[in-house]
Structure 1
Amino acid sequence: MNRINVMKPWMGADEILAVSDVIASGWVAQGPKVAQFEREFAVAMHAQHAIATSNCTTALHLALIVAGVGAGDEVIVPSFSFIATANAPIYVGARPIFIDVDSSTGDVTAEGVAAAITERTRAVIVVDQGGVPVDLDSIQEVCDPLGIVVIEDAACGAGSTYRGRPVGAGAVLAAWSFHPRKLLTTGEGGMLTTSNAQWAERARQLREHAMSMSAADRQASVLAPAEEYLETGFNYRMTDMQAAVGIVQLGRLSEMVRRRREIAARYATAIAGIDGLRPVGDPEWGTSNFQSYWVEVEPGFPTDRDGLLKALAEGDISARRGIMASHRQPAFWAAAADHALLGVTERLTDNTLILPLFHQMTDEEQARVIDVLRAPLTVAGHG
């Protein structure tokens, strides 16, 4: 049997040709392809401004800076997320305040945000966890009157929808990831989108050491004027080689989502007949791209989560433990003194796993995964 991976990027000859064209052009650093990718991504995501970055973490960092978050501020974040979500506030001297998530979506709720707000709260980072769209409107209704900025961590969200529009479309700031585990990948890379023109301009400068003119404009000039460095900036640039891949990938996005939702629907049908397994699904306000298809192993199932992971591994199937609980990591022990308030996060982290789901997955490969899910029931005499 061939190994079944949890994820495979969908890439091919078009991406190879796109990178080859960039190399042949002689302009491989941030340049015209990055600008094209930004324009096309903004259109696709219904965003007013898009700023390409080296990854989603740097996009989150820039989002907090342009939003004015700094030392002494508090930023409400889910613990149920990759650790970068909680790291970003630390970069600007703020304190991450962990809150729990909804058990069915894995996303934060307006009620959870409202309960955590203090006089020091300056921003909230919400996450479209695993591609499941967060209920952004309800959270903005809590935060906007208080002047609290809501930043959408849409790292997993490209291709998901919220109330009929792409996720992130209603956020004043949203950060995106193009890591290989995401649907749309450039190897590494990210994007910041915003509806605020001044924030967009500042983010563009900050990603290039806060230079007064872009490196692309300077390179295009025969005799470039002397640049100035307006504040302390960063090197958070994307290359034209990455952007060329991103442009091709963006054209594939709708087909990626269609195929992933087809595979997810097959999982849902199969798992509906297995007592003790609860799969993730669409919330009432949107549709998921199923960047991660996670399943909760409940007490009625014949084995626990780790036992099921072991069974899958014995079948040469690579699944993964569920989303991490950031507050359990040594870096954040001091920031998460009251773990009792994060019960749903800990339950989901301990009892969920992510099943293989990728564009090229065959019916036979998915059947192998489903057979392993059903096997403990047969051993226990339930099937």
Structure 2
Amino acid sequence: MINLFEPALGEEELAEVRAVFASGWLGKGTRTGEFEAAFAAHLGVPADRLVSLNSCTEGLFLAAELLEIGPGDEVVLPSVSFVGAANAVAARGGTPVFCDVDPHTLNPSVAHIAPRLTAATRAVLVLHYGGYPGDIENIAALCRDRGIPLIEDAACAVASRVSATACGTFGDIGLWSFDPMKILVTGDGGMLYARDPALAQRAAELSYLGLRQVSGYAQASTGGRWWEFQVGPFGRRSITNDISSAIGTVQLAKLPSFVRRRQEITHWYDDRLAGAAGLRRPAPPPPGHESSYYFYWVQMDRRIRDEVATRLYRRGIYTSFRYAPLHLVSAYGTQPALPGAERAAAETLCIPLHQGLDDTQLDTVATELRAAVAEVSELAGITAP
């Protein structure tokens, strides 16, 4: 099967894991601090604004807690988004308010977000779809003008930038994912950025049981009862560990080459699928925008999309649509129709994109995709434009 996602891990990562094993310390320690510092340098932010976590989803829940979202509060977010974002709001008693997206870029703009803002809006939470930054500069300006905190789910955008500013750092809180399906992989893991250093400190405490003293071992040399502690906020344990962080540090060094290969694959698909009847390709990033090239998606007539996906699967190519519209999920309550999101969900198919794909596999994907679209269109009596 040619997979939609696939991690790129090798001997360098194994060597660092062996070194962690040999150190005798597997928990959160010096390796985690090194990874946080390296990731801060990658983003261009102070290291004390970052908190490493066991997942990006935990970061979303933590962001809702940091902003004290609760009953009566609304959070505006795109319907085409990760389910964990809406869950993080709803779990605290807040109301997810879904906005529409552009049906082709699958990102929201100010024009989609502004009409959904009310006096009850407590935050705006955006996703950078497929690693493409979207209208983030204008959205951030809108939130600043309205005095509304902005949360960026940058899970897909680990290397995305606009005018040299890293996605995830335009707003008040940013989040990244390092799970097995992402570009930079640590097994599981995430990172949280807070613009306000006090908020970052609170995030660090909440993610480790609210402890004001997190390491008795480090304090032992000072004497006294180093095993005693004080609790600030009532937190939980959602920290990462030195095994994951050691892997992450190696992966971060490889990130530029990962993104270059993904860009090459994107351009290759663009060329091979150009002129394919019945297929629409994603638009390239505008000037000044740098994508992480996390997704490559094609769009086609909604009457054939599902059957095309089925035929590709039977031919050894796994495809999917990410992410199903959340305004259609009954658990979040009644929501108005959002035509852009609904159109995107009916017409879009994400095809394999990861740095491990070779040219033979790419040729197979492009050839089989074009063939499947042509076959199913003919069976459905559809004349492709």
Q: Same fold (TM over 0.5)?
A: yes
Deviation at 1:347, TM superposition (A): 1.3
Deviation at 1:100, TM superposition (A): 0.6
Checking the alignment, whether the CA contact within 8 Å between 1:278 and 1:298 is kept in structure 2 is no
Alignment of 1:1-383 (within 5 A): 3-48=1-46, 49-214=49-214, 217-222=215-220, 223-284=225-286, 285-298=288-301, 304-332=304-332, 334=333, 336-338=334-336, 340=337, 342-376=338-372, 379=375, 380=378
C-alpha distance in 2, partners of 1:211/1:322? 38
Q: Secondary structure at the match of 1:168?
A: coil
Q: Secondary structure at the match of 1:192?
A: strand
C-alpha distance in 2, partners of 1:283/1:21? 40
Alpha-carbon spacing, 1:377–1:83, altered in 2? closer, same or farther (3 Å):
closer
Deviation at 1:210, TM superposition (A): 0.7
TM-score for both structures, normalised by structure 1: 0.92
Letter of the structure 2 residue corresponding to residue 15 of structure 1: E
Q: Secondary structure at the match of 1:52?
A: strand
| Number of corresponding residues | 371
Deviation at 1:225, TM superposition (A): 4.8
C-alpha distance in 1, partners of 2:145/2:69? 17
RMSD of equivalent CA atoms: 1.7
Deviation at 1:378, TM superposition (A): 5.4
Query: Runs of 5+ in structure 2 lacking a partner?
Result: none
Deviation at 1:75, TM superposition (A): 0.5
Higher mean alpha-carbon deviation, 127-136 vs 251-260, is at 127-136
Deviation at 1:141, TM superposition (A): 2.0
Deviation at 1:169, TM superposition (A): 3.0
C-alpha distance in 2, partners of 1:314/1:213? 55
Alpha-carbon spacing, 1:154–1:27, altered in 2? closer, same or farther (3 Å):
same
Deviation at 1:330, TM superposition (A): 3.5
C-alpha distance in 2, partners of 1:6/1:250? 21
Q: Secondary structure at the match of 2:284?
A: coil
Higher mean alpha-carbon deviation, 120-129 vs 288-297, is at 288-297
Checking the alignment, whether the CA contact within 8 Å between 2:312 and 2:372 is kept in structure 1 is no
TM-score for both structures, normalised by structure 2: 0.92
C-alpha distance in 2, partners of 1:366/1:62? 39
